[in-house]
Amino acid sequence: MTAYRQELTPVSFLERAGTVYAERVAVIDGDRCYRYGEWRARSRRFAHALRAAGLKKDDRVALFALNSEPLLLAHLAVPQAGGVLVAINTRLNESEVAYILEHSGARFVFFSPELGPLPGGIALGDDFEAFVQTGEDAPVESWLEDEYDMIAIDYTSGTTGRPKGVVYHHRGAYLNGLALALENRLRADSVCLWTLPMFHCNGWCHTWALPAAGACSVSIPRVDPPQVWRLLEEQGVTHFNAAPTVLIMLANDPAAHRLSRRVRVCTGGAPPSPTLIAQMEELNIEIQHLYGLTESYGPFTLNVMQPGVSELPLEERARFMARQGVAHVAAGRQRVVDEEMRDVTPDAEALGEIVLQGNVVMKGYYRDPEATATAFRGGWFHTGDVAAMHPDGYIDIRDRKKDIIISGGENISTIEVEQAVMSHPDVLEAAVIAIPDQKWGEVPKAFVTMKPGRSLSEREVIEHVRERIAHYKAPREVEFGELPKTSTGKIQKYVLRDKAWAGQGGWAVGRAEPGLPKRGGGPPRKQAGRVN
């Protein structure tokens, strides 16, 4: 130990908050409420209880739990004990959960009773409280040897095979938490409503950002729109986080109303459409567009509003706000590159792949050196997202590499088509994918969910889109109904694609993977090979 170094860990956020914000409310979960002083003591007790039960350094502690105070507490107490947190997606099936428990080698397992018993696990509730009470609230001696030690393993969705375990380290969690507190304007008097699952990238690192700022968490197990609207007012909420599909659901709920105070919401997973931005403004909700992946601890870039943009007409303002933006204050660097890792021309037109490098890039995939080497080729993390770089340094995602539609040699961005579809006043949500076509190879198809009580025909949707973008980009088919989604509200395009390409032997077999453009841009070229 030296006088000029202390290993960075978000555990220090709660230790400090327990003194500085001792009397401020840290967590509200139903009828339970903890102030920071007592919540710090509770974290210490949980950490001591884990050690007393046999936890060794770097043992994995899994939680299969809905949003709740115990899950939030585990984000501080598990690393404080010297363990590694594994927060599991609550929408996974039994075999998927079993795989993660086995792959991670979880030593301890805790679960929400509503999700069913897990072998050898401890149910959150009376059993969990009894376990915590076996610990003491004395300070916990740190076992952290290096700030690059593991703090969490976050598993990807596994849409193309078994989920991968993304390894986070203490340094990255500390820096991303601190950056989000700053960039999201969190303060000690902020109140955040947990509409985002805490297991998802550890709540986009807000599980650590909130105690860093001394802010209050209001926990709810699931997104229930009437309850969300009630709590936004009753609890004086200033912040929440959600994917655009969740915002659409909230905006179109009968309980929706203009809030009495300005609320800031971080959104990511898809660019917010002009329609959604306008709806949020009417509800007194300010949108902050973020971009990132599980492999980047959640948020890596954000759309920093420039002077004068807020005064632009809605359509122009929305186009700017839809950009994924620039790396946040602690993230590192983002580039848009061609297949030879050369930067594309920053003209807002040339396309390439977004690659990332810096403080909040994962340490690697747990027990998967081959996948780690592939993701880190060339010394950068490859996102698989295709984007353009603007002259001002802002990135602008045009699609996932695998989502770009190549129709008759022309590239079509599904995002562009989706936004055109969603500009129709009767459309609630939309997703666009490539479907096979004998003449053009593939063409766009739109899947549309209508607003309640509205009616639309396929021809009306197609004509609406053709009035807004090039005719060849308009969907050739439209299917109406509910859209499959992840637990965070992100539309699962792979489910739609698998169905559409079933007659071709499957999507990965029936089409070729689009390549990246050469220097200066131009359309991606087709390559043989399997789509990831």
Pairing assessment for the beta strands 263-267 and 239-241 based on DSSP bridges: parallel
Domain regions of the chain by residue span: 11-330, 333-401, 404-514
Match 């980009």 to its residue by tokens: 473
Q: Is the dihedral of CA 463, 469, 475, 476 positive or negative?
A: positive
Q: What is the DSSP string of 223-241?
A: --HHHHHHHHHHTT--EEE
Q: What secondary structure, in 3-state letters, does 86-137 show?
A: EECCCCCCHHHHHHHHHHHCEEEEEECHHHCCCCCCEECCHHHHHHHCCCCC
Q: Residue 526 contacts by C-beta under 8 Å, 6 or more apart in sequence?
A: 406, 512, 513, 514, 515
CA angle 523, 356, 159 (to 5 degrees): 75
- Residue 464 tokens read as 């609406």
Amino acid (one-letter) located at 268: G
Overall CATH class of domain 404-514: alpha beta
Count of CB atoms within 10 A of residue 368's CB?
17
The fold for domain 333-401 equals: Luciferase; domain 3 (2.30.38)
**CA gap 416, 414 in Å, rounded:** 5
User: Cα–Cα distance between 386 and 405 in angstroms, integer?
Assistant: 12
The residues near 234 (Cβ < 8 Å, ≥ 6 apart) are none
| pLDDT given at position 489 | 78
Query: For residue 243, what are its two tokens?
Result: 């994917």
In the block, tokens 């075999």 appear at 95
> Six-digit token pair at 126?
């009376």
> With 0-12 CB in 10 A as exposed, 13-18 as middle and 19+ as buried, what is 502?
exposed
Please classify residue 484 by burial: count the beta carbons closer than 10 Å to its beta carbon, then call 0-12 exposed, 13-18 middle and 19+ buried.
Answer: middle
At residue 179's C-alpha, the angle toward residues 177 and 147, to 5°, is: 55
355 touches 340 (CB < 8 A): no
466: which residues sit within 8 A by CB, 6+ positions away?
Answer: 474
Run of H or E including 20: helix 11-20
Q: Which of 163, 178, 185, 7 is nearest to 82 (CA)?
A: 7
Both structure tokens of 190 = 């902020």
Q: How far apart are CA 416 and CA 396, in angstroms?
A: 12
CB atoms within 10 A of CB 315: 11
Q: What is the pLDDT of residue 245?
A: 85
* Residue 521 DSSP label: B
pTM of the full structure: 0.86
Superfamily of domain 11-330: ANL, N-terminal domain (3.40.50.12780)
Low-confidence ranges of the chain (pLDDT < 70): 1, 158-161, 409, 503-532
SS3 476: coil
CB 148 within 8 A of CB 171: yes
- Which neighbouring-strand residues pair with 87? 63
